[in-house]
Amino acid sequence: MTAALEITGLSVRSTLDTDTPLVHRIDLAVAPGERIGIVGESGSGKSLTALAVLGLLPYPLTAEGSVRLAPDDEVVEVIGARSRRLDRVRGAVVGAVFQEPLASLDPLMRVGAQLAWPLRRHRGLRGEALRRAVLDALADVQLTDPERIARSLIHEISGGQRQRAAIALALAAGPQILIADEPTTALDVTVQAGILELLEREVRERGMTLLFISHDLPVIAGIADRVLVLRHGRQVELDTTARILHAPGDPYTARLVEASRRLDDLLPALDTDLGAEEPAS
């Protein structure tokens, strides 16, 4: 079976410092419909790997190696591809949801107009069919009153609504692969669970391949089939989620797992302590 995404020897460097790679020789093959979690501390290369897959590395960063997408058995090499070729791939083959919707959504365009663009470009919709598809896309990510949301600028809606709109935008053209890069980090804790549940449902129902990036191992564990662990831009370990959690093969992974478990043990104790406090008189 052809991999939906195949990364071979991926390295990312700055043209200002070619001797020190920021990402060094990542290898990963992802099957259609598989869910991969990418975990590591800040600066481990998680987001740079995602941007390289999308062909969106900013200057002065460059990518080496190979990133191959396989939409409908047509292999597309991302590294070195022309922008015009990648414009046909982004959205239709691979979509992305980033950490901060204020940065990924256009503050000067109404939400509905932003959603209409990929629907028009990749699905050829016009007129009433386009308007209906925009509203359906917003409703599908459980946004109430989609007509109001479609008319709104992003500063006129809440953070959770903005992230749901960003998810709708990523899914609008029906991509086969979704990259979710820390999609809940910028949200209030009361909103995070709803966004994670939404992403899991959409990926499952659409049969999509998922790359879910996070520094939070428990979140990764709840959504991924396999986990890629990165540290200082290097691949530390790649294994099933169960083996990563219960039999990590690298000391760094073991420390990540232990730190997550200590936090889980600490939270109930904190809740108990806080609940036992008497109000000040």
pLDDT, tens digit, 9 for 90 and up, residues 100-128: 888 889 999 999 999 999 999 999 999 99
Rounded mean pLDDT of 233-244?
96
User: CA geometry: angle at 115 spanning 110 and 121, to 5°?
Assistant: 125
Asked if pLDDT for residue 138 goes beyond 70, the answer is yes
Cβ atoms of 55 and 78 closer than 8 Å: yes
CA torsion angle for 246, 248, 252, 255 (degrees, to 10)? Answer: 20
Banded model confidence at residue 1, pLDDT cuts 50, 70, 90: low
**C-alpha span between 29 and 107 (Å, rounded):** 36
> Tokens at residue 85, please?
């070729």
Q: Which long-range contacts (CB under 8 A, 24 or more apart) does 190-194 make?
A: 191/159, 191/160, 191/163, 194/142, 194/160
Rounded mean pLDDT of 153-177?
94
User: What pTM was computed for the model?
Assistant: 0.89
Between 188 and 114, the higher pLDDT residue: 114
Between 99 and 11, the higher pLDDT residue: 11
